[in-house]
């Protein structure tokens, strides 16, 4: 059985990932760490996991084989590197990193540690997504000339979602949900863009409230993401 450790008390951890770990049948929640011991205990209690009032203790727990990191975006790289250095496999929330340089450093660290490092891109494993990709790759839809991917919702500043409106925390529409659209386009078409353009509407805090981009691929396909 795989022992899971969770860093933080994020909503996605409470409502989606921890229940999925418990239903999977091949693992268990071993430890939860939070800056608040009470919040960690609340998440850990139902599973009988150990609760810690810090993240480092989760990484030091020998019962933990893999660490799930749903922390704010700017913390993905440092805590991924710490987890790998502690000998843990890592599942990190999207976006994997804030830029390509960070991503390369994280990937190199995982390779050096001989550990699995993956982004929590759950949509890649949904039967619907896989069916669409299979149809495209098999040529069932003919040559793809245009693809549109959008993920939008109205976000208002609230204490619980301040990360969305903080440039320092890696907020903004592209890093929060635009990653789904960009990732889907690249994955469905199975190629990397050769040219990218984008326009955004900006919040006073320096994050993009909305963004529309185009990705041109070598095959001639043009993807619009929003």
pLDDT at 167: 85
Model pLDDT, residue 151: 93
Return the minimum-mean-pLDDT range out of 35-44, 52-61, 78-87, 140-149.
35-44
pLDDT value of position 85: 98
- Within 10 A of 23 (CB to CB), how many other CB atoms are there? 7
Q: Return the pLDDT at 8.
A: 93
Q: Is the pLDDT of residue 91 over 80?
A: yes
- Which of 22-26, 79-83, 162-166 shows the highest mean pLDDT? 79-83
Q: Interhelix angle for 100-113 vs 76-85, to 10°?
A: 10
Query: Tell me: the pLDDT tens digits for 153-209?
Result: 888 877 777 888 888 899 999 999 999 999 999 999 999 999 999 999 999 888 999
Residue 54 has a CB neighbour count (10 Å cut-off) of 14
Tokens matching residue 220? 């001639």
Q: Residues of the chain with pLDDT > 90: what percent? A: 82
**Nearest to 196, CA basis, from 216, 177, 172:** 216
Contacts for 222 with CB less than 8 Å, ≥ 6 apart: 145, 146, 147, 214, 215, 216
Query: Each residue of 27-75: pLDDT tens digit?
Result: 999 999 998 878 888 888 888 899 999 999 999 999 999 999 999 999 9
Domain at 143-225, CATH from 3.40.640.10, 3.40.30.10, 3.30.360.10, 3.40.190.10:
3.30.360.10
- Position 145 scores a pLDDT of 97
> Which pLDDT score is estimated for 1?
93
Q: Are 61 and 5 in contact (CB under 8 A)?
A: yes
- What is the CATH architecture of 2-120? 3-Layer(aba) Sandwich (3.40)
Q: Which residues are catalytic?
A: 94
| Helix extents (H) in 151-222 | 173, 179-189
- Map out the domains of the chain as residue ranges: 2-120, 143-225
């Amino acid at each position: 059985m795989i022992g899971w450790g969770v860093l933080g008390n994020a909503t996605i951890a409470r409502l989606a990932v921890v229940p999925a770990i418990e239903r999977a049948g091949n693992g268990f929640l071993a430890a939860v760490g939070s800056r608040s011991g009470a919040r960690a205990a609340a998440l850990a209690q139902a599973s009988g996991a150990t609760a810690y009032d810090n993240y480092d203790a989760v990484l030091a727990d020998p019962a933990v084989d893999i660490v799930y990191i749903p922390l704010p975006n700017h913390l993905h790289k440092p805590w991924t590197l710490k987890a790998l250095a502690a000998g843990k496999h890592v599942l990190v929330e999207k976006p994997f990193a804030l830029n390509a340089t960070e991503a390369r450093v994280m990937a190199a660290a995982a390779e050096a540690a001989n550990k699995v490092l993956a982004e929590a891109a759950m949509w890649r494993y949904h039967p619907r997504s896989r069916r669409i990709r299979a149809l495209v790759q098999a040529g069932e839809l003919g040559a793809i000339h245009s693809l549109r991917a959008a993920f939008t919702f109205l976000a208002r500043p609230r204490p619980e979602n301040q990360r969305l409106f903080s440039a320092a925390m890696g907020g903004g529409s592209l890093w929060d949900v635009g990653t789904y659209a960009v990732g889907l386009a690249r994955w469905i078409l199975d190629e990397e863009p050769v040219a990218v353009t984008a326009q955004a509407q900006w919040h006073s805090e320096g994050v993009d409230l909305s963004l529309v981009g185009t990705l041109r691929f070598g095959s001639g396909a043009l993807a619009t993401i929003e």
